[in-house]
């Protein structure tokens, strides 16, 4: 949308004479402006066109000259505006200072553009009247029809410098209490001066939008410092969609897990039983049985293999050293399982301990043909029946790893959001950081 290049009716530049230095002071609003700041000598005076100008205050030199000049036109938030005044202010109780530009639109309406530490807020009058209510701890809130705001700061302003035209006596603001509430990127300001209560709504404006609105280069604007009170988090806009995408990805991963479990990724690759006989050879160890070598079976990997061993033990123990041999490479994966089962009667009560069945797992097993070498040991001299089942399981560990990787970026963004909020509220006297 192009910027209008015509001056609104009734807003042609007019001049009046400064009562201090006798130089011209330019103004634009002939209807509502009654107070003026001279750009030459810094005299602030009242002139209502019914008598001579009245000197009110002589400001000293300011360390912060306005970036936007008086009379400069812009196109901000799809509205034509002209800069007609500038205030340089500080808190009475603190050294914090900021600038405020008075803007006049085509219809003669005023708004303010505040800049603090390189952060910009467009402030508009609000016709509503609202009540503050207490929350938990230090929290104070105000509800409006649009949203809920939380108290961020209270202060009394002091004007250090003024230039341009104003429709109120800015010197009276020293007795005004200002309360600022935020709901980023929006803000709500309450000004209480005696019985007069005024409310204003604000919206955070990105520096690049200010530069574009007034035809400036980005490097002409002050560099933002710290976190602005109503500055939106860089994560906030993308967070809802990021949460949704992450949820869908985890759901898809869960469905994939179920699919693998039902169709081929949770299947038996070997199952058989054998009877282990006592090894009576001259060089056999005590309690050893003859080794068992299984037929070969095929594994599609990388995958998780589950080994289930069972035996009808009767008050005895069974130890099973196992080697899982990859036939192509000759590499052996070894582990040992121990089964034991005892039972009896003690004082008329039946008891049992141990289990006749147990499982073992090997993860990340590569594809190929395998066989098992099992070397049983038992305290019994009788032959021992042993049942072995090998299942190729869904690679749950891999899915958990993928799920963990999916969560890395959302968790990082969540941490950024938390840090952003912490940094924002660490600048407020109404933060609950100390209590959390």
The reported pLDDT for the residue numbered 1 is: 37
What does residue 297 show for φ and ψ, rounded to 5 degrees? -140, 160
The pLDDT value recorded for residue 7 is 62
Across 285-331, where does the E strand assignment appear? Answer: 292-293, 297-299, 303-310, 316-326
Mean pLDDT of 320-332: 96
Compute the residue count for the chain.
436
Distance (Å, rounded) from C-alpha 419 to C-alpha 46? 48
- Rounded to 5°, angle at Cα 197 from 425 and 34: 110
Most confident of 56-70, 109-123, 398-412: 109-123
- Please name each of the domains of the chain with its CATH number: 14-220 (no CATH), 244-260+401-435 (no CATH), 267-393 (2.60.120.380)
Which stretches within 51-117 are classed as H helix? Answer: none
Query: Residue 231 in contact with residue 186, Cβ under 8 Å?
Result: no
Return the exposure string of 83-105: e unless at least 16 CB atoms fall within 10 Å of the residue's CB, then b.
Answer: bbbbbbbebeeeeebbbbbbbbe
Q: Which two tokens stand for residue 203?
A: 């919206």
How many other β-carbons are positioned within 10 Å of the β-carbon of residue 276? 22
Q: What is the pLDDT of residues 203-259, one digit of tens each?
A: 999 999 999 999 999 989 999 999 999 999 887 777 678 788 888 888 887 887 677
The confidence score (pLDDT) of residue 265 equals 63
In whole angstroms, give the CA distance from residue 108 to residue 214. 19
Q: Which two tokens stand for residue 320?
A: 């099973």
* Measured distance CA(297)–CA(302) in Å, rounded: 15
pTM above 0.75, yes or no: no
What confidence score (pLDDT) does residue 179 get? 97
Q: Which structure tokens are listed for 423?
A: 């940094």
For residues 89 and 157, give the distance between their C-alpha atoms in angstroms, rounded to a whole number.
7
Are 43 and 21 within 8 A, CB to CB? Answer: yes
Residue 147: its H or E element? none
Sign of the C-alpha dihedral, residues 178, 112, 89, 175?
negative
Please report where in the chains the tokens 């939008």 appear, as a residue.
Answer: 209
């Amino acid at each position: 949308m192009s910027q209008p290049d015509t001056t609104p009716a009734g807003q042609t530049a007019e001049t009046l004479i400064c009562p201090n230095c006798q130089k011209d002071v330019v103004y634009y609003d002939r209807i509502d402006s009654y107070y003026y700041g001279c750009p030459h000598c810094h005299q602030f005076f009242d002139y209502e066109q019914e008598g001579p100008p009245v000197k009110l205050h002589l400001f000293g030199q300011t360390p912060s000259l306005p970036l936007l000049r008086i009379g400069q036109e812009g196109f901000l938030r799809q509205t034509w505006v002209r800069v007609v005044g500038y205030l340089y202010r500080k808190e009475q109780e603190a050294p914090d200072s900021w600038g405020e530009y008075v803007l006049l639109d085509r219809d003669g309406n005023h708004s303010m553009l505040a800049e603090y530490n390189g952060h910009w807020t467009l402030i508009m009058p609000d016709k509503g009247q609202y009540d503050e209510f207490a929350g938990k701890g230090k929290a104070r809130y105000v509800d409006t029809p649009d949203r809920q705001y939380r108290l961020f700061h209270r202060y009394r302003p002091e004007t250090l410098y003024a230039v341009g035209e104003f429709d109120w006596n800015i010197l009276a603001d020293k007795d005004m209490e200002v309360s600022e509430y935020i709901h980023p990127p929006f803000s709500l300001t309450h000004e209480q001066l005696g019985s007069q209560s005024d409310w204003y709504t604000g919206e955070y404006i990105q520096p690049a939008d200010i530069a574009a609105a007034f035809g400036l280069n980005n490097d002409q604007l002050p560099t933002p410092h710290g976190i602005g009170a109503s500055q939106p988090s860089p994560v906030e806009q993308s967070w809802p969609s990021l949460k949704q995408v992450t949820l869908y990805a985890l759901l898809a991963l869960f469905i994939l897990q179920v699919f693998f479990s039902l169709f081929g990724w949770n299947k038996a690759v070997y199952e058989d039983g054998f009877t282990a006989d006592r090894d009576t050879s001259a060089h056999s160890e005590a309690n050893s049985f003859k080794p068992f070598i299984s037929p070969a079976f095929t594994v599609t990997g990388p995958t998780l293999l589950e080994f289930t061993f069972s035996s009808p033990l009767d008050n005895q123990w069974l130890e099973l050293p196992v080697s899982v041999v990859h036939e192509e490479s000759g590499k052996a994966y070894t582990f040992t399982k121990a089964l034991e089962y005892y039972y009896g009667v003690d004082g008329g009560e039946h008891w049992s301990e141990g289990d006749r069945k147990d499982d073992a797992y090997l993860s990340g097993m590569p594809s190929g043909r395998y066989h098992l070498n099992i070397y049983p040991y038992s305290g019994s001299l009788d032959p021992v029946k042993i049942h072995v089942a090998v299942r190729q399981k869904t690679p749950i560990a891999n899915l958990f790893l993928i799920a963990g990787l999916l969560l890395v970026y959302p968790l990082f963004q969540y941490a950024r959001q938390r840090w952003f909020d912490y940094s924002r509220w660490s600048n407020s006297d109404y933060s609950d950081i100390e209590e959390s």
